[in-house]
Amino acid sequence: MNEAVQELIQREYAYGFHSDFETEVAPKGLNEDIIRFISARKDEPEWLLEWRLSAYRHFITLEEPTWPRLKIEPIDYQDMHYWAAPKPKGPAPESLDDIDPDVREMFDKLGISLREQERLSGVAVDAIVDSVSVATTFQSQLAEAGVIFCSFSEAVRNHPDLVRAHLGSVVGPRDNFYAALNAAVFSDGSFCYIPAGVRCPMELSTYFRINAADTGQFERTLIVAEESSSVSYLEGCTAPMRDENQLHAAVVELVAMADARIKYSTVQNWYPGDEEGRGGIYNFVTKRGRCQGARSKISWTQVETGSAITWKYPSVILQGDDSVGEFYSVAVTNNLQQADTGTKMTHIGKNTTSTILSKGISTGRSQNTYRGLVKMLRSAEGARNHTQCDSLLIGPKCGAHTFPYIEVKNDSAQVEHEASTSRIGEDQLFYCRQRGIDEEEATSMIVNGFCRDVFDQLPMEFAVEAQALMRVSLEGAVG
Amino acid sequence: MLHIENLRASIDGHQILKGLDLDIGAGEVHAVMGPNGAGKSTLSAVLAGRDGYEVSGTVTFQGEDLLGLTPEERAVAGIFLAFQYPTEIPGVGNMYFLRTSVNAIREARGEETIDARTFLDAVKVKMAELDMDPALLSRAVNAGFSGGEKKRNEILQMAMLEPQLAILDETDSGLDIDALRAVADGIERLRDPQRSMLVITHYPRLLEHVRPDAVHVLRDGRIVRSGGPELAHELEQDGYGPAETVGAGTP
């Protein structure tokens, strides 16, 4: 095996530090009292507590899904904290200037500035540590445009009708094991509401940071785009290096009304565990959008480099006629990482179209699975799908797997599927090296080239970050 | 410039080069011709440092031992191989690749790197000379290129890298007459008293456009005959001799 590949396998995780501020945690364990504790801690209305309890009562009847191609050590759901938050040092911060300096420093170390004037471009950030949102920038500027961008807790307090109308409308509290768990114990997350006709004046983003030990993170994000509105939303995530696995079970719901557009981009860089597979985040996430109105469009773009285990299928329900769903994905696994990821496109409306482009890169002893479902219902007259899944293998001990499922109930629907698996070519490497480009640089160049079509879908700022992240992965980031 | 003595190379226990000797002086163009399976491509691969071969013997380049160097170190030393089958690299822009290559070599030599604007201007001039479609710059490296476009692209890289020793591995194969002429002209333009060339070919027709100073016949892993340009004509008339079975004629 060549050196560049060795280094890729032995890469270091750059965000593995732990910040030492005081944290308030709920006692370990999962039961109705804990749920009441979380709800009380957030001053929630009675209906939401009931919603949580009902989800919990359903959850305890469920079992973990066994269909993914994943080996998961048994998870003891009683042996973790379901609530952790940086302890306030005084009264709640009035403005961004009052944020706990230790928390601010942590975000500075992550390269996320919470000072509005320091943002390079217009990107609003909701910063979430463990179970709570600690800051949301640019809220007042967004409010001028009528855009609501705040933490989920704040939305429950200030916009209860909107939350109640849409919460669970795309991913119901009984949807699946992890979604039910999330519904019972979800702590914070982001809420975005774009009124009719408004093009959101800046990119919205949420940065998720797990800091506390033995704690799960269960955030919930809800984005509602009213008629003819549009928004681009970015999501980034990191966590400290720890020998124990930590659970992250999030739910994201998107709703797009007629002619609305939602572009949702993720760079997921949770701690992946060490080279022996110790530690790392279990990333079990349910993400789904509903193209409710005609001609609406939802695009998911994800770059998944982190997590010990990823179980994630950002999906689109194409309900409105002529609506469009897209899924662009790069998933990188190395060491003993496992990813089982893909999408579900459910075509209901007439002339709905969906595009799936998935790029899997496996190295080390990792396993990388694409799993996708394209479903054309009887009503989906003239619906079309195009799917392309490409896998790149680096080194001899990794695996790539593709499970495409197709269900078509309408004869006029068209479904295309292409798939390829290749190894990073000795020919390509030699060609580059003959041109004076060393192995490390050549490997990085070839992998980035393989991902190009997906990176092109990312907003500029994220595309640069994604390429840098791939480069860091490939260079081994020594020191 | 290049001195090869008793070069032996085998792959997977199969010996291909069996004691090859060759000397190329500065500014000289040498042709190595031979039938299929004589070891022509192995010779170019071994000189460029491809992994997977067991190699013994001596190869010095400008007085330095070549066999101990990695492929990229050989590139920095000034060795360029025009590939018989240029590799496709999907998603990597041709222009980006070319500039990364030139600047990687310049950097390794302690020279200043070239900025994108200056580089682009230089590339455009060379492309026009090679009668290349400028659109090929924004495409991915060799991806979906025709056979002729790939070979021109190799010569373009050579023109930008300005090597001391250019090894052209069957650069004429698969080219129609226009492409052959454009490629041959490109090679001729790079003829320089400081630059040596090793032209490896099955067919003599390239040598009608690129006049060699010397011609060698490679057979069964050794140079079995050497002579002037007239040797190429002789081979065209008589083929490589009785040991050759098929494919010795002109296409």
Express each pLDDT in A123-167 by its tens digit. Answer: 677 777 766 676 777 888 888 999 999 989 999 999 999 999 999
Indicate if the pLDDT at residue A212 is higher than 90: no
Q: How far is B74 from chain A (nearest CA, A)?
A: 8
CA distance linking residue B5 with residue B19, whole number of Å = 7
On whether the B2-238 domain is CATH 3.40.50.300, my answer is yes
Nearest-neighbour CA in chain B from A429: distance (Å): 9
Task: Output the six-digit token pair for A243.
Answer: 């020998």
Residue pair A203/A123 in contact by the 8 Å Cβ criterion: yes
pLDDT digits (tens, 9 = 90+) for A395-453: 888 888 999 999 999 999 999 999 988 888 789 999 999 999 998 889 888 988 898 88
Query: How high is the pLDDT of residue A279?
Result: 81
pLDDT tens digits, one per residue of A233-248: 988 766 666 667 788 8
**Chain A residues touching B48 at Cβ < 8 A:** 430, 434
Instruction: Determine the average pLDDT of the residues in A376-384.
Output: 97
CA of A424 vs chain B CAs: smallest distance (Å): 10
Report ipTM for this prediction. 0.93
Indicate the domain borders of chain A.
Answer: 3-475
Q: Is the pLDDT of residue B70 over 90?
A: yes
Per-residue confidence (pLDDT) for residue A11, from 0 to 100: 54
**What's the burial of A118, exposed, middle or buried (CB within 10 Å: 0-12/13-18/19+)?**
exposed
Q: Which band of pLDDT confidence, cut at 50, 70 and 90, is reported for residue B183?
A: confident
Mean pLDDT, residues A345-359? 97
**In chain A, what residues touch B100 (CB-CB under 8 Å)?**
437, 441, 445
Structure tokens at A404: 């495409």
Distance CA B28, CA B1 (A): 9
Q: Does the structure show a pLDDT above 60 at B251?
A: no
Mutation target vs A (from B11, B41, B141, B157; most A CBs, 10 A cutoff): B141
Inter-chain contact B71–A445, Cβ cutoff 8 Å? no
How far CA A365 is from CA of A10, A276, A362, A447, A478, in Å, comes to: 12, 10, 8, 18, 21
pLDDT in tens, A177-197: 999 999 999 988 889 999 999
Torsion of CA B145, A328, A425, B86, to 10 degrees: 10
B17: Cα within 13 Å, side-chain hemisphere: 25
Neighbouring residues of A448: CB distance < 8 A, sequence distance ≥ 6? A455, A467, A470, A471, B91, B92
**Facing residue for A450 by CB, picked from B52, B91, B101:** B91
Parse chain B into domains and list their residue ranges: 2-238
Average pLDDT over residues A246-270: 92
Inter-chain residue contact A430 with B51, CB threshold 8 Å: yes
Which helix (H) or strand (E) segment holds residue B41: the answer is: helix B40-48
Q: Average pLDDT for residues A105-118, to the nearest whole number?
A: 65
Bridging pattern class, strands A123-129 and A132-136 = antiparallel
Calculate mean pLDDT across residues A22-43: 87
A358 bridge partner residues: A329, A389
Q: How far is A1 from chain B (nearest CA, A)?
A: 12
Q: Which residues of B touch A (CB under 8 A)?
A: 48-52, 70-72, 74-76, 80-81, 83, 86-92, 97, 100-102, 104-105, 108, 140, 157, 161
| pLDDT range class, residue A475, cuts 50, 70, 90 | very low
Residue A148's CB: how many other CB atoms inside 10 A? 18
Distance CA A301, CA A356 (A): 10
Of A441-455, A460-474, B3-17, minimum mean pLDDT range: A460-474
Distance between CA atoms of residues A190 and A143, nearest Å: 15
